[in-house]
Amino acid sequence: DADVTQTPRNRITKTGKRIMLECSQTKGHDRMYWYRQDPGLGLRLIYYSFDVKDINKGEISDGYSVSRQAQAKFSLSLESAIPNQTALYFCATSDLPRGSGFYNEQFFGPGTRLTVL
Amino acid sequence: RKEVEQDPGPFNVPEGATVAFNCTYSNSASQSFFWYRQDCRKEPKLLMSVYSSGNEDGRFTAQLNRASQYISLLIRDSKLSDSATYLCVVNDWDGGSQGNLIFGKGTKLSVKP
């Protein structure tokens, strides 16, 4: 079974609709992340959470919100979807770093392909 | 915004070729460096971490030059299965907060028979 799962895997919706993307992990990691990937732009960080009570905005948080329901679950919401939010969305997790300034590898879910018409 | 720059490619090489990818990063305080591999429409997966002394894993060799803020990945004896996009990844650390990972846009490799 996959360690990081995302639902749905594909979603087509209309402008103005509210959408929630869900992420679950069985790796026992405290840190979770949401990214979007667009052709030619690479991965960009939307939100991240270092534990259940710690949620932070990333590079491109406008138009998005998140909820960390438990250590294992991190949801991303688009309150009112717009066409330029059409993208591939990835959830990721990581373990605590081994020291100040260091960073562990991130483990990614399979992605959600979202299309906003 | 701190940047990670890569040649987007594509690099089209025959099987058995040796190919090298380069990456530069702008944050001199960065401490963690990685190469990830991403197959088309799939999630990125860690290929290897990059250590100061350089490191090798089978046909793959990674090098780090802190003075030049430069990372490289060398693939020897290319296989068809090496065809993918290779992402250079660096942590964004300012000496205070933990920072996050900055992903390059990736270099696409296509290995032909």
Query: CA-CA distance, B89 to B102, in Å (whole number)?
Result: 6
Contact A105, B49 (CB under 8 A): yes
> Which tokens in the block code for residue B3?
């940047």
Could you tell me the pLDDT band of residue B92, with boundaries at 50, 70 and 90? confident
Q: For residue B93, count CB atoms less than 10 angstroms from its CB and return exposed for 0-12, middle for 13-18, buried for 19 or more.
A: buried
The shortest C-alpha distance from B101 to chain A (Å) reads 8
Higher pLDDT, B111 or A51: B111
pLDDT score, position B98: 62
Alpha carbons B51 and B98: distance in angstroms, whole number: 19
- Per-residue exposure over B19-39, b if at least 16 CB sit within 10 Å of its own CB, e if not: bebebbbebeebbbbbbbbbe
Provide the pLDDT for residue A99: 67
Residue contact A101–B44, C-beta within 8 A: no
Burial class of residue A31 (count of CB atoms within 10 Å of its CB; 0-12, 13-18, 19+): buried
Q: pLDDT tens for residues B35-65?
A: 999 999 899 999 999 988 889 999 999 999 9
Mean per-residue pLDDT, A80-98:
92
Contacts of A110 in chain B (CB under 8 A): 42-43
In this predicted model, which residue has the larger pLDDT, A95 or B108?
A: B108
Per-chain mean pLDDT for chain A: 93
Give residue B52's pLDDT.
Answer: 83
Q: What is the pLDDT of residues A4-33, one digit of tens each?
A: 999 999 999 999 999 999 999 999 999 999
pLDDT over 80 at B95, yes or no: no
d(CA B71, CA B93): 17
CA distance A2 to chain B (A): 12
Residue in chain B closest to A111 (alpha carbons) equals: B43
Residue B63's pLDDT is: 95
* CA atoms of A59 and B10, how far apart (whole Å): 27
Which of A31, A48, A103 is the best substitution to test chain B (most B C-beta atoms within 10 A)?
Answer: A103
Indicate yes or no: CB of B44 within 8 angstroms of CB of A58.
no
